[in-house]
Chains A and B, each alone.
Chain A
Amino acid sequence: MAPSADIAIEPIAPIEPPAPLAPLHALPPPFTDSNLEVLTQGAEALVYKTTFLTPATPCVVKYRPPKPYRHPTLDKRLTKTRLLAEARVLVRCRKEGVGVPGVLAGDWDNGWLVLEWIEGMTVRKVLDEWADKVKRGDKKEGDDEMLGVMRKVGRAVGRLHDIGVCHGDLTTSNLMLRQPSSSTEHASPLFQHRGHQTVSAMREAAMDGADGSEPSPPQPQSELDGDIILIDFGLVSQTIQDEDRAVDLYVLERAFSATHPAAEPLFQKILTSYGESFKGAKTVLRRLEDVRLRGRKRSMLG
């Protein structure tokens, strides 16, 4: 038997990439008017900003379009299951006081969900801007404000796990730092009063006051003072398994090291704060070590 030989002397001719086609942006009814602003074309869903119920209420429409690459039966099954799971968990989180956007409406068969608008920016962007500042010498690496954000992230993830929910896709793009309450405006005029403060801000104040160890500095207010809001629960699961919780943290850790290599030490702060956030968090951290090790064993075979 002769070895499968290829032609000798063969320059590598690069393959011409096919011309990219325009992506599809068509929502199902009733979301067909021009009052839509594309926010992201995520892997899972198309996310738009629009208004809902009143022309003054901003909201997010999340549409899971049919994936042409997926078998239609599988696609329908996945879309419905995931959308419903997402909505159920969000409502549960709101009931339990975990920082997530509220559910305003949804249609599982047609693949859309309307969610509360969160004013703020992603932790990913916060980290990017911080990295720029460090590079320019405006900030130093162990910056207290930044550590404060990390502490809040750890606490938010801990709260989520505490109520038996694992996010499933915990990346820095799925963590929002809400714009501090003094500058947010509620859309409904019913709630537009002077000197108004959100419940979440009060909760934060109450919590800080309760443990007394970390009094929040009263002034001046920084843009990093807002609450952490967890978004995109597209791959969420309801579970209290240490394994699932640890994998959540592992995914976040890898998102950190993959996109913010310089910010890896900050992740330690998240873990510390997570460890103090609920009973059982310490066991999860121990499990995380196992998950890391196993992750490294995975490349055993070629």
Chain B
Amino acid sequence: MIALGLEGSANKIGIGLISHPSSNKPPIVLSNLRHTYVSPPGEGFLPKDTAIHHRAWVVRLIKQAVRQAGVKIEDIDCICYTKGPGMGAPLQSVAVAARTLSLLWGKPLVGVNHCVGHIEMGRAITNASNPVVLYVSGGNTQVIAYSAQRYRIFGETLDIAIGNCIDRFARTLMIPNDPFPGYNVEQLAKKGKNLVDIPYAVKGMDCSFSGILAAADILAHSTNEALPDGKRLKTEDGEIVTREDLCFSLQETVFAMLVEITERAMAHVGSKQVLVVGGVGSNERLQQMMGMMARDRGGTVFATDERFCIDNGIMIAHAGLLEYKTGITTSLEDSTCTQRFRTDEVFVGWRD
């Protein structure tokens, strides 16, 4: 069976085609295309502009993806699209495209939860059977474990998402958004060496980033190179704190928090596997820290590369096809999208 997946919940539009040959063979990625809307430094992506970007690219990407996959329209079984969660306008622009295709080609629609898409794709790629999932992206920060037909949320952010925290911090420091702010922060952090005190906010299995962002923003202003030396932020040893040090400190602090809540969830459910998904999951330092934690517990960490970590169409096609195979489709009248769509609302009929 073959599914076409359309993803556009944030600033990336992704189109992918996947084939599930038979129940005991691994799925095959037929094509996986993506285009990212990049906003200028110091600015985030606005819903309106992002939607315009998606509308401009969607037809071209679908044509190219289908051509690259080498399949005929008749071979496609269903059209899967992101129902939510995400930004309203971009979600709508892609949902309209999905509906149009459904009517044009006479194919059933499957609305997919974006988070479940990440989890299922991660599981398929890494072969992790029943991992604790850390889902970290620009809009989500969740620690998830599967139990009784649901992906249950054990821990999550109490305010803003980790990716949002990093992106906005990058904006304050005027770090470019290309290819994405988190990547540039990561590169700068590699050159940092002084750890600056930043609040550490973990509550049980939840964490909070808004206070950290506020503190980091204040620190960022006092590292402005235009300031005279006397006014610059210094370490206890009198060294001037650099942008690199700040990126380093921010990463060390917030990633330690993420690893800690993941470890707590692992201890709670007794799992030895961790799967990291979402755009922030492509950060090598986070993967390294997670690996050290897992090793200490005698467990393993699974991570995907940026093709699958960062939002893509394939994951929507994959999760949608899993659901389609359990006999569930989304009727045209119900093919809406929603900004709020919790991971644990989805009935996971395809797992034991």
Asked whether, in the complex, the Cβ of B204 is within 8 Å of the Cβ of A235, the reply is: yes
A67 at the interface (CB under 8 A from B): yes
Give A162 to B237 CA distance when docked, in angstroms. 44
* Nearest Cβ on chain A to B203's Cβ, whole angstroms: 6
Asked whether, in the complex, the Cβ of B298 is within 8 Å of the Cβ of A23, the reply is: yes
Residues of A contacting B153 with CB < 8 Å?
A: 254, 258
**Which among B27, B147, B164 is the interface contact of A12 at CB below 8 angstroms?**
B27
Which chain B residues in 104-160 approach chain A with CB under 8 Å? Answer: 114-115, 124-128, 137-140, 142, 145, 147-148, 152-154, 156-159
B64 at the interface (CB under 8 A from A): yes
**Which among A6, A8, A10, A301 is the interface contact of B140 at CB below 8 angstroms?**
A301
Asked whether, in the complex, the Cβ of B26 is within 8 Å of the Cβ of A6, the reply is: no
Mask, B245-286, CB within 8 Å of A = 1, is 000000011001001100111111100110000000000000
The binding surface of chain B is classed by DSSP as: mixed
> What number of B residues sit within 8 Å (CB to CB) of A?
93
Given contacts A4-B35, A6-B29, 6 further A-B contacts (CB under 8 A): A20-B300, A43-B264, A173-B268, A299-B341, A300-B85, A302-B9
Mask, B29-64, CB within 8 Å of A = 1, is 111111110000000000000000000010011001
B231 at the interface (CB under 8 A from A): no
Give A257 to B152 CA distance when docked, in angstroms. 9
Give A297 to B342 CA distance when docked, in angstroms. 9
The binding surface of chain A is classed by DSSP as: loop
* Nearest Cβ on chain B to A249's Cβ, whole angstroms: 11
Instruction: Of the listed stretches B214-222, B287-295, B324-332, name the one at the interface; the rest are far from the partner chain.
Output: B287-295
Residues of B contacting A137 with CB < 8 Å?
A: none
Asked whether, in the complex, the Cβ of B68 is within 8 Å of the Cβ of A18, the reply is: no
Asked whether, in the complex, the Cβ of B87 is within 8 Å of the Cβ of A3, the reply is: no
Give A302 to B115 CA distance when docked, in angstroms. 8
Give A171 to B268 CA distance when docked, in angstroms. 9
Asked whether, in the complex, the Cβ of A78 is within 8 Å of the Cβ of B156, the reply is: no
Give A4 to B253 CA distance when docked, in angstroms. 32
Q: Which chain A residue has the least Cβ–Cβ distance from B33?
A: A3
B309 at the interface (CB under 8 A from A): no
Q: Measuring CB to CB, which residues of chain B are less than 8 angstroms from any residue of chain A?
A: 9-10, 26-36, 57, 60-61, 64, 68-70, 82, 84-87, 91, 114-115, 124-128, 137-140, 142, 145, 147-148, 152-154, 156-159, 161, 164, 195, 197, 200, 202-206, 252-253, 256, 259-260, 263-269, 272-273, 288-300, 302, 307, 311, 339-343
A261 at the interface (CB under 8 A from B): yes
Asked whether, in the complex, the Cβ of B302 is within 8 Å of the Cβ of A4, the reply is: no
Residues of B contacting A257 with CB < 8 Å?
A: 152
Give A153 to B53 CA distance when docked, in angstroms. 54
Residues of A contacting B269 with CB < 8 Å?
A: 258-259
Q: Which chain A residue has the least Cβ–Cβ distance from B137?
A: A302
Mask, A1-44, CB within 8 Å of B = 1, is 10111101111111101101111100000000000000011111
Asked whether, in the complex, the Cβ of A23 is within 8 Å of the Cβ of B296, the reply is: yes
Residues of A contacting B35 with CB < 8 Å?
A: 1, 3-4
* Nearest Cβ on chain B to A262's Cβ, whole angstroms: 9
Instruction: Of the listed stretches A51-59, A69-77, A212-220, name the one at the interface; the rest are far from the partner chain.
Output: A69-77
**Which among B61, B159, B289 is the interface contact of A3 at CB below 8 angstroms?**
B61
**Which among A22, A168, A259, A302 is the interface contact of B85 at CB below 8 angstroms?**
A302
Q: Measuring CB to CB, which residues of chain A are less than 8 angstroms from any residue of chain B?
A: 1, 3-6, 8-15, 17-18, 20-24, 40-44, 67-71, 73-74, 77-78, 168-171, 173, 235, 247, 251, 254-255, 257-259, 261, 295-302
Residues of A contacting B33 with CB < 8 Å?
A: 3-6
* Nearest Cβ on chain A to B105's Cβ, whole angstroms: 21
Asked whether, in the complex, the Cβ of B268 is within 8 Å of the Cβ of A255, the reply is: yes
Residues of B contacting A44 with CB < 8 Å?
A: 264
Asked whether, in the complex, the Cβ of A14 is within 8 Å of the Cβ of B126, the reply is: yes
* Nearest Cβ on chain B to A293's Cβ, whole angstroms: 11
Asked whether, in the complex, the Cβ of B266 is within 8 Å of the Cβ of A69, the reply is: no
Give A300 to B342 CA distance when docked, in angstroms. 9
Asked whether, in the complex, the Cβ of B114 is within 8 Å of the Cβ of A71, the reply is: no
Instruction: Take A68-B292, A258-B152 as given contacts and tell me if A168 and B204 are in contact as well, using a CB distance cutoff of 8 Å.
Output: yes
Give A235 to B87 CA distance when docked, in angstroms. 34
**Which among B159, B197, B297 is the interface contact of A23 at CB below 8 angstroms?**
B297
Asked whether, in the complex, the Cβ of B298 is within 8 Å of the Cβ of A258, the reply is: no
Asked whether, in the complex, the Cβ of B340 is within 8 Å of the Cβ of A300, the reply is: yes
Residues of B contacting A8 with CB < 8 Å?
A: 30-31, 68-70
Instruction: Take A14-B26, A15-B127, A302-B9 as given contacts and tell me if A251 and B86 are in contact as well, using a CB distance cutoff of 8 Å.
Output: no
Asked whether, in the complex, the Cβ of B70 is within 8 Å of the Cβ of A18, the reply is: no
Asked whether, in the complex, the Cβ of B147 is within 8 Å of the Cβ of A261, the reply is: yes
Asked whether, in the complex, the Cβ of B204 is within 8 Å of the Cβ of A299, the reply is: no
* Nearest Cβ on chain A to B19's Cβ, whole angstroms: 9
Instruction: Take A43-B260, A302-B114 as given contacts and tell me if A296 and B30 are in contact as well, using a CB distance cutoff of 8 Å.
Output: no
Leading 5 A-B pairs by shortest Cβ distance: A302-B86, A302-B9, A301-B139, A14-B127, A43-B264
Give A46 to B288 CA distance when docked, in angstroms. 22
* Nearest Cβ on chain B to A45's Cβ, whole angstroms: 10
* Nearest Cβ on chain A to B253's Cβ, whole angstroms: 7
Q: Which chain A residue has the least Cβ–Cβ distance from B69?
A: A8
Asked whether, in the complex, the Cβ of B342 is within 8 Å of the Cβ of A296, the reply is: yes
* Nearest Cβ on chain A to B152's Cβ, whole angstroms: 5
Give A67 to B262 CA distance when docked, in angstroms. 14
Asked whether, in the complex, the Cβ of A297 is within 8 Å of the Cβ of B264, the reply is: no
Residues of A contacting B296 with CB < 8 Å?
A: 23-24, 67-69
Q: Give 26 pairs: A residue, B residue, CB < 8 Å, sorted on A.
A: A3-B64, A5-B31, A5-B68, A10-B29, A11-B29, A12-B28, A12-B124, A14-B26, A20-B300, A23-B298, A43-B266, A44-B264, A68-B296, A69-B288, A69-B289, A69-B296, A168-B203, A173-B268, A247-B204, A251-B205, A258-B147, A258-B269, A259-B269, A299-B342, A301-B85, A302-B137
